[in-house]
Amino acid sequence: MNKYLAECFGTFWLVLGGCGSAVLAAGFPDLGIGFVGVSLAFGLTVLTMAYAIGHISGCHLNPAVSIGLWAGGRFPANQLLPYIIAQVAGGIIAGGVLYVIASGQAGFDLAAGFASNGYGEHSPGGYSMVSALVTEIVMTMMFLIVILGATDKRAPAGFAPIAIGLCLTLIHLISIPVTNTSVNPARSTAVAVFVGDWATAQLWLFWVAPIIGAILGALAYRFIGCEKAENA
């Protein structure tokens, strides 16, 4: 049970820190943190939680990561569903807290997006569904390769949270204009349920694409990172 609670709290922090920075701090004229600030916020949530709960639950904070770790032979199948439930629950709780905070500002409007992920007219840069699909698959694939590589027993010990946090920052720097960056179904669900309408209608892509990308990343790392290949 400690593992599931850790995943719930960790995903809560990821959504509150990452989406909260986008909703509360990114839009101030001249003072807002912008895309770079939001990217750093997401990376910092993972980095800080990796040190805080990594030794308890592994700090997945992401259904796609849990599935990718299972596909990579690093996680038992019987814990997948409880992990995913805990992650989604933590994200939605954070979405609720963020909604209470954000709605205290005069003129607050959920229709502005509430940091939801989207494509087409709901993409920050107006990118198509195909662009969004490719972006989310490729970004999640690379995220899993970095996660599996940084946590490999042959990698330098103690540095994995830094590599993973910086990787998530880079992913956001690349893909915020395309989809507002998901690579995490729990993060997408956490805000989409409050926006409803188009956000829930497009939510399928931000489950399907990250899961496909995570499995591809796990398979790629199993091929390039196996010790037999290294010693051949």
Any idea what the CATH number is for the domain that residue 216 is in? 1.20.1080.10
CA distance 115 to 30: 20
Give the SS3 label for residue 106. Answer: coil
Residue 145 lies in a domain: yes
Please check whether residue 231 lies inside any domain of the structure: no
197: which residues sit within 8 A by CB, 6+ positions away? Answer: none
Predicted structure pTM score: 0.92
Residue 230 lies in a domain: no
In a domain, 51, yes or no: yes
What's the number of domains the chain is made of? Answer: 1
Taking only the tens of pLDDT, the chain with its 232 residues reads 899 999 999 999 999 999 999 999 887 777 778 999 999 999 999 999 999 999 999 999 999 999 999 999 999 999 999 999 999 999 999 999 999 999 998 888 888 889 999 999 999 999 999 999 999 999 999 999 999 999 998 888 889 999 999 999 999 999 999 999 999 999 999 999 999 899 999 999 999 999 999 999 999 999 887 765 444 4
Q: What is the dihedral of CA 6, 97, 64, 206, to 10 degrees?
A: 180
24: in domain:
yes
Whether residue 33 is contained in a domain is answered as yes
CA distance 97 to 19: 11
- The answer to whether position 52 is within a domain reads yes
**Residue 103 within any structural domain of the chain:** yes
Determine contact, residues 195/139, Cβ cutoff 8 Å.
no
Query: Domain limits at 129?
Result: 3-225
* Residue 132 and residue 213 in contact, taking contact as beta carbons nearer than 8 Å: no
Measured in Å, how far apart are the chain's first and last C-alpha atoms? 42
